[in-house]
């Protein structure tokens, strides 16, 4: 993938957002030959929205830990030396979608969301030195959502970028149907702000953000949200008895690069699409023939080249989206690449077909295509269309990425 060269270990740009630093390697490894997807799963919980760092010789993974028929969200924390054997999950209650960065003094910052009221999520910030004990949660950018009783002020999916021009925050705002990404700026460089909303970035329907630097340029990884036209087309196919669509409306990881000078705050709204990261399906994250599934939702990219020369993509998959109040019984998978184009799966279980890994970036979308995929609506009678639109709204609510805990 273009723009994915090695970033020198001495380069301070983006250091706070790096997944792997040479000083933190210790005796950590990636035991690839012993790995099998999913690498992390629980019989009574879903795992998604992960963030990964190598700290003090151990892999640290924070994630949304979803349990119960009501889909209760907590933050789970596990560690591993080799990404094969994991510690028992430590649970931090009533938090979701954690994202890890590092302050200048070495403190780890964790941006997450907490549901103060049903369906009204707000951003919170925690700190830790060791991923064993966590600070009390504090409000993060509370001025961005001033009305706690308005569901359209729901803010989730925080990601921070530490730069010479201050701190930038990506987040999603809106209710369960009408929502959009936003970028805010703290010129002081402090999470305490004050924060100013810059606007909406040109990335379409997008969520679960992650900032990092490749070749000295800021990049943003996120997850596409299926659009209304995709959902309508899918529903029409299901009504016709076609249950194995070649392109079901799943969430998909897409990589963007910043298009301008990062020291100019307005430029954080301008992004060039590098490409979609296409991960081959396996038995645990494939279409079962009836209903919906997730192949690679809420993906997180770890540049582990200082360790072993590979990029690793962590992602959530499931064969359905019914369990845990519409979250689906998501599990954590992993793939690796040396160039962000061709992705390799762990050897323990291969994809059910013999097709090779697809390239990460589609040629026609490499630099200028920043729009979502578009599919034409079929011509249907008004009554049928009305039924479909109602079904779309219901499906969007059921497929929400971060549903509130009970």
Tens digit of pLDDT for each residue in 122-136?
A: 999 999 999 999 999
Supply the pLDDT for residue 204: 87
Task: Tell whether pTM > 0.95.
Answer: no
Q: Is the pLDDT of residue 400 over 60?
A: no
Percent of the residues in the chain that have a pLDDT greater than 90, as a whole number: 63
Supply the pLDDT for residue 357: 34
Supply the pLDDT for residue 81: 97
Query: 36, 333 in Cβ contact below 8 A?
Result: no
Q: Is the pLDDT of residue 94 over 80?
A: yes
Question: Sorting pLDDT into bands at 50, 70 and 90, what band is 145?
Answer: confident
Supply the pLDDT for residue 291: 66
Q: Is the pLDDT of residue 277 over 90?
A: yes
Q: Is the pLDDT of residue 365 over 50?
A: no
Strand partners of residue 117: 120
As a CATH number, domain 15-398 is 2.115.10.20
Supply the pLDDT for residue 234: 60
Q: Is the pLDDT of residue 393 over 60?
A: no
Print burial letters for 142-172: b (CB count within 10 Å at least 16), e (below 16): eebbeeeeebebbbbbbbbbbbebbbbbbbb
Supply the pLDDT for residue 86: 98
Question: Sorting pLDDT into bands at 50, 70 and 90, what band is 108?
Answer: very high
DSSP 8-state code for residue 352: S
Give 145's contacts (C-beta < 8 A, 6+ positions apart).
122, 123, 153, 154, 155, 173
Question: Sorting pLDDT into bands at 50, 70 and 90, what band is 394?
Answer: very low
Q: Is the pLDDT of residue 232 over 70?
A: no
Strands (E), 187-264: 196-199, 206-214, 217-224, 253-258
């Amino acid at each position: 993938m273009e723009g994915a060269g090695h970033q020198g270990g001495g380069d301070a740009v983006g250091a706070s957002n790096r997944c792997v630093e040479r000083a933190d390697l210790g005796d950590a490894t990636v035991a690839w030959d012993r790995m099998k997807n999913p690498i992390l799963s629980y019989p009574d919980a879903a795992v998604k929205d992960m963030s990964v760092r190598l700290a003090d010789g151990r892999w640290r993974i924070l994630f949304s830990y979803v349990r119960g028929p009501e889909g209760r969200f907590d933050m789970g924390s596990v560690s591993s030396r080799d990404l094969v054997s994991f510690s028992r999950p430590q649970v931090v209650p009533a938090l979701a979608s954690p994202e890890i960065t590092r302050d200048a003094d070495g403190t780890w910052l964790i941006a997450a969301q907490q549901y103060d009221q049903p369906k009204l999520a707000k951003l919170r910030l925690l700190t830790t030195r060791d991923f064993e004990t966590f600070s009390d949660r504090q409000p993060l950018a509370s001025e961005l959502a001033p009305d706690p009783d308005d569901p359209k002020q729901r803010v989730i999916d925080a990601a921070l970028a530490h730069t010479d021009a201050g701190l930038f925050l990506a987040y999603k705002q809106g209710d369960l149907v009408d929502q959009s990404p936003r970028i805010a700026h703290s010129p002081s460089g402090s999470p305490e702000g004050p924060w100013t909303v810059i606007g909406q970035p040109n990335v379409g329907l997008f969520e679960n953000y992650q900032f990092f630097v490749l070749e000295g340029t800021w990049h943003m990884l996120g997850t596409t949200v299926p659009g209304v036209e995709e959902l309508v087309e899918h529903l029409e196919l299901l009504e016709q008895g076609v249950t194995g669509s070649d392109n079901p409306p799943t969430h998909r990881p897409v990589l963007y690069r910043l298009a301008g000078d990062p020291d100019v705050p307005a430029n954080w709204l301008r992004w060039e699409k590098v490409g979609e990261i296409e991960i081959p399906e396996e038995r645990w994250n494939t279409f079962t023939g009836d209903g919906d599934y997730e192949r690679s939702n809420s993906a997180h990219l770890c540049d582990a080249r200082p360790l072993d020369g590979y990029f690793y993509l962590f992602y959530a998959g499931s064969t359905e989206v019914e369990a845990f109040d519409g979250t689906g019984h998501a599990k954590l998978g992993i793939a690796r690449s040396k160039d962000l184009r061709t992705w390799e799966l762990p050897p323990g279980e291969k994809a059910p077909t013999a097709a090779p890994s697809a390239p990460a970036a589609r040629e026609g979308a490499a630099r200028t295509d920043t729009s979502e995929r578009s599919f034409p609506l079929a011509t249907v009678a008004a009554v049928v269309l009305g039924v479909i639109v109602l079904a779309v709204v219901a499906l969007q609510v059921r497929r929400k990425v971060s549903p509130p805990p009970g």
